[in-house]
Structures are given as structure tokens and as C-alpha cells.
């Protein structure tokens, strides 16, 4: 095994950490501004039929939910960076791990969930040009899950065959 693929995964995780950090900061700022605006909005209805303060509050809650998901995705990226780093060190030493941690597979599944949530947000915001990026990210995560599961099966098969 070479470390080139693992290095690629590490670079993408670092980019995701930077992007999530920026997104978390922006979402926090916007959600605070929206929640502050909702407190001072008059109680009149808008084109949605909801009072302005309720409509603004719903938007603020959506931003808070986005912030929570972004923070969780940031934590996911940090944890996966540790997984890729330990795998790269193991490959360089020549001692392959007996199996990749199960939580790494679950974290990849969580990332797919976040990508689906982002696609829904892009659909609602009419940001159609960003939807293919989320689809590509989902496809890449599914491929990584399949590779990790295949690695675990292969290592289990090698151990079973050696006895």
C-alpha cells in the first residue's frame, strides 16, 4: 500500500476543516443577526402569511440548525484527519492495522447526511449550481465507505487464512 491516497484524503479533510470553520463563523454571525432582528420586528404579516417576527425566527432557527450541523461536520473532519494520519503512519512503518475503526465508517455516513442536508438547503435557496458538488461528495463518501469495508474484509480474510 502507498500513502498517496491517504495523503489525498488528509488534504481534503484539511480543506473541509477550513471550509467548515469559515462556514460556522458565518452561520453564527447570520443567526445572531437574524435572531436580533426578529426581536425588534413589528407584528405584521408578509407575503408568506406569517407575522414577520415568526418568519424571521424560523429563518434564524434554520441557521442555528445549519450551525449545529456544521460544527458536527467540523468535529467529524478533525476525527477523520486523525484516522488518516494514523493509517498513513502505519503504512510508512509497514505494519498495517488489523482493521479500520468502525466509527470511521459511521462518520463517513454522517458526512453523507450533511451533504444531503446541504443539497436540500441549496434546493431551497435556488443555488442549483452547488447541488452537483454535493452529489459528487456523496458519491466520493460512498466510495470511501466501500473501500474501507473492503479493506476490513480483506484483512479479516488474511487473518482467518493464516490460522
**Model-level pTM greater than 0.75?**
no
pLDDT digits 0-9 by tens, 2-20:
667 777 778 877 887 787 7
pLDDT digits 0-9 by tens, 65-123:
777 877 887 888 788 888 888 878 887 887 777 777 777 788 788 878 878 887 887 77
Alpha carbon distance 94, 144 (integer Å): 22
Q: Which of 126, 134, 125 minimizes the C-alpha distance to 59? A: 125
Residues 6+ apart with CB under 8 A from 112: 138, 141, 142
Q: 449545529: which residue's cell? A: 68
Q: 488489523: which residue's cell? A: 98
Amino acid at each position: 500500500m502507498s500513502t498517496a491516497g491517504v495523503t489525498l484524503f488528509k488534504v481534503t479533510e484539511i480543506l473541509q476543516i477550513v471550509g467548515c470553520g469559515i462556514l460556522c463563523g458565518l452561520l453564527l454571525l447570520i443567526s445572531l443577526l437574524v435572531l436580533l432582528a426578529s426581536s425588534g420586528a413589528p407584528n405584521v404579516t408578509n407575503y408568506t402569511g406569517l407575522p414577520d417576527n415568526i418568519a424571521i425566527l424560523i429563518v434564524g432557527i434554520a441557521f442555528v440548525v445549519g450551525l449545529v450541523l456544521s460544527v458536527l461536520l467540523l468535529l467529524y473532519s478533525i476525527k477523520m484527519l486523525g484516522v488518516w494520519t494514523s493509517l498513513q503512519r502505519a503504512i510508512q512503518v509497514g505494519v498495517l492495522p488489523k482493521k479500520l475503526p468502525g466509527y470511521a465508517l459511521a462518520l463517513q455516513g454522517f458526512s453523507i447526511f450533511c451533504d444531503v442536508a446541504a443539497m436540500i438547503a441549496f434546493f431551497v435557496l435556488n443555488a442549483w449550481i452547488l447541488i452537483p458538488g454535493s452529489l459528487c461528495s456523496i458519491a466520493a463518501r460512498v466510495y470511501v465507505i466501500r473501500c474501507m469495508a473492503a479493506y476490513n474484509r480483506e484483512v479479516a480474510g488474511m487473518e482467518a487464512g493464516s490460522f
